[in-house]
Structure 1
Amino acid sequence: MDCASCATKIDNALRRVPGVAEVNVSVPAGTVTVAHDGTVVPAVLAKQIGTLGFKVTGQGPADAKPVHPQDGHAGHDHGPGCGHEHAHGHKHDHDDHGAELEAGLHGHLHDHGPSEGPWWKSQRGLLTIACGLALVAAYGIGRLFPQTGHWAFVLAMAVGLVPIARRALIAARFGTPFSIEMLMTIAAVGAVIIGATEEAAAVVFLFLVGELLEGVAAGRARASIQGLTKLVPKTALLERNGKTEEVQAETLAVGSIILVRPGDRVAADGVIVEGESAVDEAPVTGESVPKRKGVDDTVFAGTINGDGALRVRVTAAAQDNTIARIVRLVEEAQESKAPTERFIDRFSRYYTPAVLVVGALVAILPPLLLGASWGEWVYKGLAILLIGCPCALVISTPAAIAAGLSAGARRGLLMKGGAVLESLGKITVAALDKTGTLTEGKPKVTDVIPVSRSEREVLSLAAALEIGSSHPLAIAILARAAEAGAPVPPAANAGAVGGKGVTGSVGGVALFLGSPKAAAEKVALTEEQTARITALNDEGKTVSVLLAGEQVAGLIAMRDEPREDAKTGLEALKQAGISAVMLTGDNNRTAAAIAAGLGIEPRAELLPQDKQRIVRELQARGEKVAKVGDGINDAPALAAADIGIAMGGGTDVALETADAAVLHGRVLDIARMVRLSRDTMANIRQNIAIALGLKAVFLVTTIAGITGLWPAILADTGATVLVTANAMRLLAAGGRT
């Protein structure tokens, strides 16, 4: 849908269906979610929607194929894409009514409007063109045959007004008497009665033009997030029975092996099992530089393979891949209204009837009390009805919220609803987990200190002992050896010594790689070596000692290093006026070392309940707290915080446990998310100012007699288009957030 009027009419009509408990209509997403007692079937709701002028096709039982509602009336297109209407059993928790919906009916109301084809082929476009041609014809007839000009304009007006009036009457019948169509109908008919037929016809035409522009703008807004789904290729090269065959990407099962050739888009989320290549993730993450990926690295559907062939094991079906989940979460989030949006909704319920009262008073009181001209003041009263239409005001907030959510999703910043997007900009403290949030979550070799062997030899011998091990420290040593180009000779009799290290021999030399304590049991360490180990430990590093025979060959220090952007991200938070604190279960020494390098206050050796307690303490001091963690062991603190932000690469936990998720694990993205929130709220304030400001200006000029009916309609439809276009700036500006 593209207008608040549609949402109100559908909401009121569906609430009249017996068994319906709650209705939530999302204008930006073009969806409606219905909670009911289990007795309602889709066909009943489809019929009720049909009475409003919508035509629903392909309907069937709740678990049948998706149905595609089509707009059956001439005046309203309802956005892009193939909609669906299906019952589902999972629960929805909508912020706007605070209830868990035991059963929902989730429908998209679309007609494949302007966003999917030329606007002039849509029903709305055809009606607008017909009304415009009729207006031109009436003008020509009026010039040639002045005596029939009045009736020519009446007929021209009727071309556009009849469908509008029909919708107004149907909406009134189903609980929406104060719709924009009703105000338009009253104003146009009133103008004809007082003899202003030319203006009445022009106003109807301008109204249709305004609605057409609204549809185009709203369709573009909705298509911005749905366009993500087009990134995933339709087909994939599946390896089966030793052969490669092209299949539909949506049929790929978890565990399937697919071939991704250089230059191809990845058809599914998966893990690389063979090959190495630079993968361009810009279409999904916005990253400008391709990432080098190899065996065991994760790839996302829709990203572009670079220079090498990859064999990928599928880890998620088409409906569950990262892009599909992002689209689904954003659509659900758009149904969750922000506090500002809920206030505007409540305000508009009283605003429209008040406009009718004011219009009536302007038309009646001056002639009755002051003896003014009836024709002049009735005309002004009718203009006020058009000025007072609430569409621009009501759409001002959801349009900006939808654009903000979409802009974030396209860059891996997921926020679950308008309330979250609004609240993010108000946080004053960010409490961040260490492992996997501020750090990479996996150790890296930071120091290789040669003693009796060269650095290259130390890496070679240590790597020889660790071949085949999946221990994080072993993986770090093997990665460093590969990076340094150190050869890895075969080791004989390699094995683990429980709690101490690993042993083996290379070239007849007995080797041991383990903790300093275990090494000291075999060979005496010098004071210098012990001091060096202590210094490394003080830096939060884990030290392994390599023994070759009876000598210390060298020391290898490892640490879970901070993310590349961690310091920059914390500085960005500071610039945004947000203080940061590290909450970690790690030991004090390691936490202090990492915190010192990042310039953040550490709180270490914390259990999950301790993290939650600290969040509560911060809140008790009046702080608005965002807790940032991995979404698993931080769950209590995430739930306690004002905003819980999960860090991760699109895992189910990262997407489902918190209020928001930073999919690509960048600390800098937290500040970007806050910036997006603040930009969105500023945009909402601008939209409300535009909507109310234009109405105020035209109200004064109309009462003063400067403007009339046709400028009055611009105060509504023009403002609606301006507000929607202003909200769309968030999509373009999203790159800098």
Structure 2
Amino acid sequence: MSQTELESRYRVSGMDCPSCAAKIDAAVKGIKGVEDVSVSVVAGSLTIGHRVGFSDESLMKRVRKLGYGIEPFPEKPDQGGAEGPVVSDQCGSACCGHSNGDEADTIEHRHDAAEAALHRHAPNSAQGSGPAWWRTVKVRMAVGYGIAILAAYAIGAVWPQAEAPALVAALAVGLVPVSRRAVMAARFGTPFSIEMLMTVAAVGAVILGAVSEAAIVVLLFLVGEMLEGVAAGRARRSIEGLVTLVPETALLERGDVVQKVSADALQPGDVVLVRPGDRLPADGRVSDGASSVDESSITGESVPKSKAVGDQVFAGTVNHDGVLRVEVTAAAQDNTIAKVVWMVEEAQEAKSPTERFIERFSRTYTPCVVAAATLVAVVPPLGFGFAWSAWVYKGLAILLIGCPCALVISTPAAIAAGLSAGARRGLLMRGGAVLEMLGRVDVVALDKTGTLTAGEPEVTDLIAVGRSQREVISMAAALEQTSSHPLARAILKLAQNARAPVPPLLGGTVVPGEGVSGKLGGENLFLGSAHGAQRLACLDEQRAEIDRLHAQGKTVSVLVAGGTVAGLIALRDQPRPDAAAALSRLRERGLRTLMLTGDNARTAEALGADLGVEARSELLPQDKARIVRELQAEGRRVAKVGDGINDAPALATADVGIAMGGGADVALETADAASLHARVTDIPDMIALSRTVMGNIRQNIGIALGLKAVFLVTTVAGVTGLWPAILADTGATVLVTANAMRLLSWRGDPALDGAARERY
């Protein structure tokens, strides 16, 4: 964006499909001073880039003339009273509470400098992005018009001569608003809108004397629009509902004082008290207490997870049976739910290749339909002498049949529902193109550390030599108690779990490249590599055991006490419990799996053998990217999964880059998709979701085109008329939308059981 270009955002209500967005886009682009336009149907937002001096009054007036509600985001948030959330403006121009009357509730918006809006409901607002479906303008219009039609028929039953005029008057109740929108859309750049086709067909039917059919056609159209609005609102609320899971207040501990504060005011480092039955107000780590936590709202898993000191917990989850003290690790705008909402809204603005093709096709298709309808209406009477009324009537029916609404919405409805369903399980994808490509990949290349493994070594073997295991653990822990090395943390964790004492050490010294030494109870101790230990003690008796452990990809630390070997401690970064099941499922689906790691060959081969995955080891970041390019040169579509800085080049090179949640920020920023909860099972789940969505899209396109083809033939043959024609359009639109909404109930690949999907 240039220095002379500014950005303004608006909340738009009443948008239900891509056709609505296209009309707004065309209208706004024609306003002087507007440089760039972005419309999101799912987010209900309009973002424009404009030059200095631009006035938004003309923009809002134009959008309202199209029949949509629009309000700018005010500069100061509505605090919702003294007890309401405290929202800070970090953008310079804040984005905050507004009211769209009948079309939207008051919603607060919070930004940080780099991210898009986070939508959070104000304390007194109803759930969702608008009023209850029966209170919307479209419902009131459909019901009001239905009552007018019934009244007209009632008048006709009492006074038959007045039925036709009464129906015309009733028709005006529904058709005039539609016609006004058609004229405005044509004036602002969209001449072939559904409203225009509907207006032409209804007026033409009245001229031909088919007043009753015209009235029913308009009623079916309004009912169809109402149902579209209900379905679109359900898709929108499926993600917005996540925001309401986070409680408005939290119990903040400061010393011995516990006070109730706004959850939005919490900052990293704060400690909050979470009672049984409470929802967690922020992402954090348990600093005290133990309990089971229901994470179904975030992970989709029905079984509560046990949480103890050091375990990670998420905002919006429910504490079950114990008191927890949680140290906050993320502010409100950065918590798990905030990231889900932000990424999904961003993703739903990015179109898939199929969606872009359908939109381009519809821009040519609609004028062709108008031309075909004109030919049907004119050629038979002029060329063959057939009756004008019959063929004009058929031409009007073809206008309605040919409306592209169902076809245009077939892809974005499924994409939006798929992105929402995935997000509720922690599967975040940056747009429809990513979702579509995931189903087409045939190679999945995964990083080892932090992706296939937990990223933290664990003690796997402890062999005591001439000492008890408890003694060996105590001496090793004493040597490592001041170290922050991952191997030291593993040994200290073992001591904690074994309840072994950790005595103070005298003269602790790091031996570079070898280990650590010190004195305990007058005895000299050393813990480190076999290479370092062999200078202090004879390892001949332990050599075979050390080689065996090394062959299993384990790191072996040798404990030397008083000049003799006291024990062997083997450690390894263990595979995630779900890794084997996930890789097996990928192979069953016909995908090649590959592990790319910078670790040594022996460790990589041992882990690869355990998991049944091909291993490539001792790779630098550029080597990983090179391997991805080589696979692509062979015609393969590659998904790369990783979590570290060294994975960023390969993530950017791959057809789809997937970052594991909790990894390096650069990996998350580079990737096209993310597993928010760092489960390996999320990878086959993403691919399964993609294939399910693409199957749904094919079904939708078949429904849309199939119904049109059937009714086109029957209309030309004279079997069906105007009201079946509108059913071909409105009915297909409703069927397509309802079919897409089925994706909201998607729960993951059924071949992966719940145990394999647990959060580790």
> How far, CA to CA, are the matches of 2:181 and 2:128 in structure 1?
21
**1 CA distance for matches of 2:749 and 2:606?**
32
Deviation at 1:715, TM superposition (A): 0.8
The 1:133–1:171 alpha-carbon spacing in structure 2 relative to 1, beyond 3 Å, is: same
Q: Would the aligned equivalents of 2:127 and 2:244 in 1 still touch at CA under 8 Å?
A: no
Give 1:26 deviation, angstroms: 2.8
Q: Which of these residues, 413, 420, 438, is aligned with residue 427 of structure 2?
A: 413
Determine if contact 2:129/2:240 at 8 Å carries over to the other structure: no
Q: Is contact 2:464–2:566 with CA below 8 Å preserved after alignment?
A: yes
Distance 2:184 2:224 in 1: 21
Quote how far apart the aligned CAs of 1:429 are. Answer: 1.0
Number of the residue aligned with 1:63: 93
Structure 2 matches for 1:100-111, cutoff 5 A? none
| 1:569 equivalent in structure 2 | 582
* Contact 2:442–2:591, Cα closer than 8 Å, also in 1: yes
Question: 1:599 — aligned with what?
Answer: 612
Partner of 2:712: 699
Question: 2:271 aligns to what?
Answer: 257
Separation in 1, partners of 2:460, 2:387: 89
Gaps of 5+ in 1: 93-103
1:667 is aligned to: 680
Matched, 1:276 2:290: yes
Residues 183, 207 of structure 1: CA spacing in aligned structure 2 closer, same or farther, 3 A cutoff? same
Matched letter for residue 743 of structure 2: L
Q: 1:81 deviation in Å?
A: 5.7
Aligned length: 714
2:643 and 2:664 in contact (8 A); partners too: no
The DSSP-based 3-state class of the residue aligned with 2:646 is: coil
- Matched residue of 1:17: which SS? coil
Q: Which residue in the other structure is 1:53 paired with?
A: 67
Structure 1 residue aligned with 2:623, among 582, 603, 610?
610
* Deviation of 1:183 (Å): 0.6
Deviates more, 1:145-154 or 1:307-316: 307-316
Checking the alignment, whether the CA contact within 8 Å between 1:56 and 1:69 is kept in structure 2 is no
TM-score of the aligned structures, taking structure 1 as reference length: 0.92
State which drifts further: 153-162 or 285-294: 285-294
State the shift of 1:83 in Å: 6.5
Distance 1:17 1:505 in 2: 80
Q: 1:325 to 1:38 in 2, by over 3 A?
A: farther
Aligned-pair distance for 1:310?
Answer: 2.1
The alignment partner of 1:646 has SS state of strand
Alpha carbons 1:432, 1:583 under 8 Å: kept: yes
- What's 2:378 paired with? 364
- Corresponding residue of 1:523: 537
Q: Is the partner of 1:441 in helix, strand or coil?
A: strand
The residue type equivalent to 2:653 in the other structure is: A
Residue 285 of structure 1 pairs with residue 336 of structure 2: no
The CA deviation at 1:52 is: 2.0
Superposed displacement of residue 67, structure 1: 6.2
- The partner residue of 2:166 within 145, 152, 176 is 152
CA deviation vs aligned residue, 1:314-341 (integer Å, no higher than 9, x gap): 2222122111111111101101000000
1:88 offset after TM fit, Å? 9.8
Q: SS in structure 2 opposite 1:619?
A: helix
Counterpart selection for 1:29 from 16, 37, 43: 43
Give the Cα–Cα distance (whole angstroms) in 2 for the partners of residues 635 and 320 of structure 1.
22
8 Å CA contact retained: 1:26, 1:335 = yes
User: Is 1:300 aligned to 2:340, yes or no?
Assistant: no
Question: Does the residue aligned with 1:606 lie in a helix, a strand or coil?
Answer: coil
**Partner AA of 2:225 in structure 1:** E
Give the aligned partner of residue 731 of structure 1: 744
- In 2, distance between residues paired with 1:650 and 1:140? 69
TM-score of the aligned structures, taking structure 2 as reference length: 0.89
What SS does structure 1 have at the residue aligned with 2:173?
helix
Say whether 1:682 aligns with 2:695. yes
Which residue does 2:330 correspond to in 1? 316
Measure the CA separation in 2 of the matches of 1:84 and 1:707: 50
Which residue of 9, 23, 26 maps to 1:9? Answer: 23
Q: CA deviation at 1:421?
A: 0.6
Q: 1:537 aligns with which of 529, 550, 566?
A: 550
Q: Output the amino acid matched with 2:371.
A: V
Q: Matches of residues 327-726 of structure 1 in structure 2 within 5 Å? A: 327-483=341-497, 485-493=498-506, 495-499=508-512, 500-506=514-520, 508-526=522-540, 528-649=541-662, 652-726=665-739
Contact 1:28/1:398, CA 8 A, preserved across alignment: no
Residue 64 of structure 1: how far off its partner (Å): 4.8
Deviation of the 1:82 alpha carbon: 5.0
The offset of 1:374, in angstroms, is 1.5
Can you list the C-alpha shifts for 1:246-273, whole angstroms capped at 9, x where unaligned? 1111122333221112221110112333
Amino acid corresponding to residue 506 of structure 2 in structure 1: N
Retained in 2: the 8 A contact 1:547–1:554? yes
Listed one character per residue, the Cα deviations across residues 137-175 of structure 1 (whole Å, up to 9, x for unaligned) are 111111111111110110111111111111111111111
Partner of 1:239: 253
Q: Distance in 1 between matches of 2:309 and 2:218?
A: 64
- Aligned counterparts of 1:252 and 1:59: Cα–Cα separation in 2: 24
1:207 is matched with 221
Partner residue, 1:97: none
Deviations 1:595-636 (Å, cap 9, x if unpaired)? 111111111111111111111111111111111111411111
Using a 3 Å threshold, how does the CA distance of structure 1 residues 135 and 114 change in structure 2: closer, same or farther?
farther
Gap change, CA 1:525 and 1:58, over 3 Å in 2: closer
Q: Share of identical aligned residues, percent?
A: 62
1:661/1:118 CA distance change after superposition, 3 Å: closer
Q: Which amino acid aligns with 1:705?
A: G
Q: Quote the Cα distance in structure 2 between the aligned partners of 1:531 and 1:191.
A: 94
Give distance in 2, aligned partners of 1:650 and 1:117: 39
* Structure 2: tracts of 5 or more residues without a match: 1-14, 76-91, 751-760
CA distance in 1, matches of 2:27, 2:111: 19
Q: For 2:165, give the aligned amino acid.
A: W
Whether contact under 8 Å (1:55, 1:69) holds in the other structure is no
Provide the rounded CA distance (Å) in 1 between the counterparts of 2:139 and 2:217.
17
Greater Cα offset, 502-511 or 708-717? 502-511
Distance change >3 Å, CA 83–CA 259, structure 1 → 2: closer
Secondary structure (helix, strand or coil) at the match of 1:443 reads strand
Measure how far apart 1:370 and its partner are: 1.9
1:119 equivalent in alignment to 2:149: no
Deviation (angstroms), 1:115: 6.9
Secondary structure at 2:244 match in 1: helix
Deviation above 6 Å: which 4+ runs of structure 1? 83-89, 111-115
In the alignment, is the contact (CA less than 8 A) between 1:68 and 1:85 conserved in 2? no
Note closer, same or farther for the CA distance 1:114–1:299 as it changes in structure 2 (3 Å cut): closer
Residues 465/305 of structure 1: CA separation in 2 closer, same or farther (3 Å cut): farther
Deviation at 1:275, TM superposition (A): 2.7
Contact 2:647 2:667 in 1 (8 A): no
Q: Does the 8 Å CA contact 2:110/2:333 hold for their aligned counterparts? A: no
- Please give the secondary structure, in 2, of the residue aligned with 1:442: strand
CA contact (8 A) 1:54 1:70 kept: no
Pair 1:537–1:651, CA change in 2 (3 A): closer
- Tell me if structure 1 keeps the 8 A contact 2:450–2:663: no
- Is residue 175 of structure 2 the alignment partner of residue 161 of structure 1? yes
Change (3 A) 1:631 1:19: farther
Conserved 8 A contact 2:18-2:412? no
